[in-house]
Amino acid sequence: MRAFREAVEAGDLDAVEALLAENVVFTSPVVFKPYPGRAITAAILRAVSQVFEDFRYDRELTGGENGRDHALVFTARVGGRELSGCDFIHVDEDGLIDELTVMVRPLSGAQALAAAMGARFDAITKEAEARAAAAS
């Protein structure tokens, strides 16, 4: 999805958040349980933007029914570990992201990502709670 890619590449996390549907479901590459909702998804994306170093998208693929499925292939580093991954995005009928699934490899990169995000997860949760309260 071009708008998401451009917002991420520009570091415009407010624009990224504006592209998320209220009922978006984020599926992490390192946690089994999906995270439902805009507030937690935005907080996770804000944190990961601080964790990833030298992040760049390399390819963009679009397909699926009505062109609503997208894959953005990326590379980055986390704590000195190289990783590659893919953001799988589905958009709803309004053009907002309602599913965001991230996958990364190799295992050493996924482990570095899990450790870095795990260390921030209390702050991520607090930010999400504050955002959800402000939105209601």
CATH of the domain at 12: 3.10.450.50
Average pLDDT of the segment spanning 85-101 = 97
C-alpha 33, offset from chain centre? 15
27-35: average pLDDT: 93
- Cα separation, 28 vs 63, in Å, equals 22
Q: How confident is the model at residue 130 (pLDDT cuts 50, 70, 90)?
A: very high
111 to 22, 34, 49, 108: CA distances (angstroms): 29, 18, 17, 5
Whether this model's pTM surpasses 0.85: yes
Q: Which residues form the domain of 128?
A: 2-135
Number of domains in the chain: 1
Assigned token pair, 60: 């963009």
Local structure of residue 67 (DSSP, 8 states): G
Tokens of 110: 């996924």
Residue whose C-alpha is closest to residue 37's, from 51, 50, 21: 21
Identify the pLDDT of residue 5.
95
CA distance 35 to 38: 9
Q: Give the pLDDT band (50/70/90) at residue 136.
A: confident
Q: CA-to-CA distance for 43 and 100, rounded, in angstroms?
A: 14
- Measure Cα distances from 50 to 2, 11, 37, 53, 131 in Å: 22, 10, 21, 8, 19
Mean pLDDT of 104-122: 95
Please compute the mean of the pLDDT values over residues 3-10 and round it to a whole number: 95
Give tens-digit pLDDT for 38-62.
Answer: 999 999 999 999 999 999 999 999 8
